[in-house]
Amino acid sequence: MNDKILLSPGLSDLRDGDEFEGFYVVRESNFQTAVNGKNYIRMLLGDSSGSLLANLWDANRELFQLCPSGSVIKIQGTAECYKGKPQVKLARFRPAHESEVDPDRFIPKGARDIGEMRDEILAFVDSLSDRNYKALGEAFFRDSKLMDRFSRSPAAREIHHAWLGGLAEHTLNVTRLADDFAKTARINRDFLVLGALLHDVGKIEELSIKFAIDYTDRGKLLGHIYIGAEMLAERAKGVANFPRAKLNALQHLILSHHGRLEFGSPVLPKIPEAFALHHLDNLDAKTEVARRLIAEDPDPVRRWTDRTWMLDTALFKGFASAT
């Protein structure tokens, strides 16, 4: 073996020209044809440090069938820079055996401690003075199985807070904002705080985590907004005499929190707390996207990132480097 080959490096640590081998998850895989008519496999490889595009040239469909999305493969390859962006040229790969890999190596982890986030979520539930809202919050977050899933779940597959514990982190960010905003906006604090805690709860059913973050069949068919509203109705049945009007209003917060029909909300916000939740949710998600895109931009010299579809703009990196 070439002693210069790096063994199992983090993808974010690779530099142009590095030869390496190791186990990585296939986050996406496509069989394509180049302009010269030759077939190749284009993959998005991932580990807990990030993702990189990889190409296997002169491939065939038999090889393509060995690297489906969500699988783990062992590869040999070379890191290279193409049009200013890092990628991988694959020399060979093989499917990994399940006994060879540790699932925790492939899912990014957040900076916040999961146990601390669980405690903070429960503290917000305990702070609710409305007995109906508090009972419903407890029906969710004092259920140990649900709390275990919620506190480990990502908030998205790749857009924002896409790491273990990302859902709890995003939820707490929005809930803190809601708690502060309600103090000055003359709106119902308990209603908005519980809505913030529950607005993305459907993501525990929408997303799955093993070697990669991906959508479940149910998540693809229904989406987390509908699933969350359905979960809310089911849990409310277990709370004695939970008022139908309050259930309708809480479901409205969940159903409208994306703010626009084309963004997946089946209804538009129609009460003050719903407008507040939509904008606070959007604020945290887009701020995290902007922070991450600047931090992960591969070119240290450029002062601007590429234009991103989610923010509909390029981002200025100069201010971040100056501070």
User: What tokens appear for 286 in the block?
Assistant: 């887009």
- Are 227 and 219 in contact by the 8 Å Cβ rule? The answer is yes
Q: Is the pLDDT of residue 321 over 80?
A: no
Residue 194 region by backbone torsions, left for phi larger than 0, else alpha for psi between -120 and 50, else beta: alpha
* The Cα angle at residue 316 between residues 314 and 319, in degrees rounded to 5: 165
Architecture of domain 107-292: Orthogonal Bundle (1.10)
pLDDT at site 75: 95
Q: Which residue carries 């069949």 as its tokens?
A: 217
* 23, β-bridge pairs: 74
pLDDT at 296: 78
- pLDDT for the residue 212: 77
Q: 83 and 117 in contact (C-beta within 8 Å)?
A: no
In the chain, CATH 1.10.3210 sits at 107-292
Identify the CA nearest to 150 among candidates 177, 175, 174, 172: 172
Residues of the chain with CATH 2.40.50.140: 6-104
Q: What is the average per-residue pLDDT within 89-100? A: 92
What pLDDT sits at residue 111?
A: 85
Spatial CB neighbours of 125, under 8 Å, sequence gap ≥ 6: 134, 137, 138, 141, 142, 197
Instruction: Spell out the CATH class of 6-104.
Output: mainly beta
Confidence of residue 320 (pLDDT cuts 50, 70, 90): low
With H, G, I as helix, E, B as strand and everything else as coil, classify residue 51.
strand
Q: What is the β-pairing status of strands 213-215 and 6-7?
A: unpaired
d(CA 92, CA 5): 14
pLDDT in tens, 165-191: 999 999 999 999 999 999 999 999 999
Residues ≥6 apart with Cβ < 8 Å to 252: 267, 270, 271, 274
Does the pLDDT at position 82 exceed 90? no
Q: Over the stretch 202-246, which tens digit does the pLDDT of each residue have?
A: 999 999 887 778 899 999 999 999 999 999 999 999 999 999 999
Predicted pLDDT of residue 157: 81
Average pLDDT on 280-300 reads 88
Q: What is the dihedral of CA 10, 11, 15, 19, to 10 degrees?
A: 80
Across 233-261, average pLDDT: 97
Amino acid 1: pLDDT: 43
